[in-house]
A = this chain, B = another copy of it.
Amino acid sequence: MSNDSSSRIVAGLREWIAAAPPGAKLPSTRALVAQYGASPVTVQKALRTLTSQGMVESRPGVGTFVRAIRVARPNDYGWQTAALGSPQNRIPQLSTALRTVPNDVVALHSGYPDRELLPERLVRAAFTRAARRDAAVSRSPAAGLPELQAWFATELGKAAPVGVAPPALSDAVILPGSQSGLNTAFRALVGAGRPLLMESPTYWGAILAAAQSGVQVVPVPSGIRGPDPDDLARAFEHTGARALYAQPNFANPTGAQWSPVLADQVLDTVRQYGAFLIEDDWAHDFGITIDPAPIAARDDSGHVVYLRSLTKSVSPAVRIAGIIARGPARERILADAQAESMYVSGMLQAVALDVVTQPAWHTHLRSFRHQLAARRDLLIGALRDHAPTAHLEAVPQGGLNLWVRLPDTTDLVRLVRDCETAGVIIAPGNEWFPAEPTGPYLRLNYSGPNPGAFTDGARIIGQVLAQQQA
């Protein structure tokens, strides 16, 4: 086959070229014909291939030479456009909340607590200890280290009221972070093209995971007291959805806290519609004036699938989350997690377990709570004093964020840009709406670096707002 012969000559000449100095003259076509037992046409084809790849250049009447420079042409990846086609799911851009910014700005945009709020010494000590243990060189079971599964199950079980069976160790599946957990839950319990109810506004990472997994998002309006149960029932009724994603405790971004009555109403509704509540207890360690009350603790009928992450409260380098689910749902979730990432680093699991089982962890959480309260109140006060037109919908009882409504005429894009120019990074609220935003909002994180600059930050936001209203 002439095609094969040509490839063979190309391969041979590539080796020859690799060993030759730039500018070296290649053997003549006649010599190559003899050497490879190929036709002149085939040799010419091979030389054209090498020329098109930029490895040689031919000077007519003189010969063919090894090119002097490794790369001269700009690469053209245009062919990939046809190969890739349009993306199957339109994945939104990453949120402002993930941006890394310089140290000299006032950063109110982040989704993560500042390093000074983390149990840094516990984390470092746990890594040092685990470095000496089996965890550093062994493979974790697919569902996770049994001790860590037990910890997640026990924590939730302690909140179970009389008459509700606590989850078993085997109901817990360990995942490499809550983003993976959301993707796995949406794929395993809903599936591409099928409807998933979500609060609006809600966590942008969940909106991203919904796009990634191809589920069809059905937004249900939600505010500082959570969704309206009638809205929810209607959404289940009209869409045939079999799952609701929600954050019933200290919701991100609104700070909403569901009342026990609402929690029971939502539980009744998901049971009535034979549906799942995917409860994202993202802020379990971030209670300020109250402790979180997971709805999953009140359910042993398998209707609530519970997601609990340690990444934000232990360390961003310890990407560990647990999902607690019962019945076939748990099997579906485990199968998806295995197919997606096989198993989770046992080292990260061992470190997470070490940290949260130290007596000092509880001391840390108490101190963390006081610091969050002080930071929250500091930012609220600064906004009241310096940005009076920014309306705080409610004082959050936990979590990391204030959800602030701005005057209706605010140009949010310009506001964010002007604040950034003045050294204040803020996150536009639009990123938390699965569909159109219902107004101009900001999410302001009070757990970021340098709370001493909150007053300056609020002053600048207030000035930029005032300029827009002028």
> Chain B residues near A75 (CB, 8 Å)?
165, 300-302, 326-327
Find A137's partner among B137, B189, B317 (CB 8 Å cutoff): B317
User: Which residues of chain B are near A191, meaning CB under 8 Å?
Assistant: 85, 88
A339 / chain B contacts, CB cutoff of 8 Å: 91, 179, 183, 208-209, 211-212
Contact partner of A163 (CB less than 8 A), chosen from B55, B123, B177, B230, is: B55
CA distance A403 to B342 in the complex (A): 23
A231 within 8 A of B: no
> In the complex, how many angstroms separate the beta carbon of A447 from the nearest chain B beta carbon?
13
User: CB within 8 A of A317: which of B123, B136, B179?
Assistant: B136
A387 to B15, CA, bound (A): 42
Say yes or no: A348 contacts B346, CB within 8 Å: no
Q: Kindly state whether residue A115 has any CB partner on chain B within 8 Å.
A: yes
- Check A130/B132 contact, CB under 8 A, given A84-B328, A191-B88, A316-B139: no
Copies in the complex: 2
User: Does A31 belong to the interface (CB within 8 Å)?
Assistant: no
Contact with B along A263-289 (1 / 0, CB 8 A): 111001000001110000000000000
CB atoms of A10 and B345 under 8 A apart? no
Selecting from A64-72, A216-224, A389-397, A415-423, the interface stretch reads A64-72
Per-position 1/0 for A49-76, Cβ under 8 A of B: 1000111100000000011001100011
Partner of A7, one of B80, B177, B268: B268
Nearest B residue to A175, CB-CB? B341
Whether B84 and A180, one on each chain, are in contact in the complex, defined by CB atoms closer than 8 angstroms, is: no
Residues of B close to A83: CB separation below 8 A = 189, 242-243, 274-276
Question: Contacts A17-B161, A70-B162, A275-B83 given: A98-B4 contact, CB under 8 Å?
Answer: no
A441 at the interface (CB under 8 A from B): no
Say how far A58's CB is from chain B's closest CB, in angstroms. Answer: 14
Given contacts A84-B329, A136-B315, A341-B341, 15 further A-B contacts (CB under 8 A): A55-B161, A67-B162, A67-B163, A76-B301, A82-B242, A83-B189, A83-B243, A100-B139, A115-B137, A127-B136, A127-B347, A128-B128, A135-B317, A211-B339, A318-B345
**11 interchain pairs, CB-CB under 8 A:** A10-B268, A11-B261, A56-B163, A77-B327, A79-B274, A82-B242, A82-B274, A84-B242, A125-B131, A317-B347, A319-B343
